Amino acid sequence: MKKNNFWKKKNVLITGISGFVGSNLAKNLSDNGANVVGLTKKKRKENSLLFLEKIHKKVHVIFGDITNRKLIKKILKKYKIQICFHLAAQVEVGLARREPYGTWDTNVRGTYTLLDTLRENRINIKSIIIASSDKAYGEHGLNKMPYKENYQLKPIFPYDTSKACADMIAQSYASKLFRLPIVITRFANIYGPGQLNFTALIPDLIRSCILNKKFKMRGNGESIRDYIYIDDIVHVYKLLSKKLYLNPKKYSGEVFNAGTNIPHKTKNILKKIFLYGKKNKELKKITINMKKNKTSGELSAQLMDFKKLKKYFGWKPQNKFEHILPTVYDWYENYFKKQYK
């Protein structure tokens, strides 16, 4: 732990702590001396990095729902929360299409329940980070890429709409009407060790390679995406939260994108992972079948402009997909060895 460490003894709430990002953030903050409290409704411990790597033993984990106003109020008062990272969300795009009500309930009602409870119990709170998404922008077309923070939010699909609604609700609570210290983040697709949501492309591809599991690409592989490594995201969260804590008048209400602004066609991500896993024959089969697929229910292109983060704080991503792939792949190999030994 560094001397003059900002995070030492800070009281931090992470909603959605058992998720991929929440778990990694909790580990980093607790290792830096923060008193971390996490809210999660997930009780399946086997598919969460939080429990897999025993991070839960370093933090206070509370099982409950983000829409439970009484519970949130109790947490804020009991632990004297100063900093809040709101990461709790239903993140599966496919599930959102099948069951939009549940997605909107968690992602929209969960956000205004948390923020309104913070509004009424703001005595200790100094910094609130709201995780929106690149999906909130909706379809702008390849010629308008990368997304910039001043782009209109015009989503259509249920998950995308839920994040845009939460985003706008947060902007209202950050306004001069309520003056909560809020920064909103819109990030590209996050990947890295410990992502155990296998509806996400990269962990699904790696699992297919390691377990010789049949893989079917959603769409024809032509969709363009921006992928950012988990360590870069944890760094951004800590950076923004600290800056907001120290200077709320300057930063409250700001929106920041983070990504690499490097376009990856999903078929090229497939190719890189399968070639690294030495699955050349399987790659050929998938590539042939993929061309017959139609892409529906997803945006054609998403790239994130991070010039604002760079201008304000000198930030830029430190990890490229090609360079970090061996680290990510090796983590999953070790994970599956333990699961199936």
The residues annotated with a catalytic role in the active site are 159
- HEC sequence for the chain: CCCCCCCCCCEEEEECCCCHHHHHHHHHHHHCCCEEEEEECCCCHHHCHHHHCCHHHHCEEEECCCCCHHHHHHHHHHHCCCEEEECCCCCCHHHHHHCHHHHHHHHHHHHHHHHHHHHHCCCCCCEEEEECCHHHHECCCHHHCCECCCCCCECCCHHHHHHHHHHHHHHHHHCCCCCCCEEEEEECEEECCCCCCCCCHHHHHHHHHHHCCCCCCCCCCCCEECEEEHHHHHHHHHHHHHHHHHCHHHHCCCEEEECCCCCEEHHHHHHHHHHHCCCHHHHHHHHHHHCCCCCCCCCCECCECCHHHHHHHCCCCCCCHHHHHHHHHHHHHHHHHHHCC
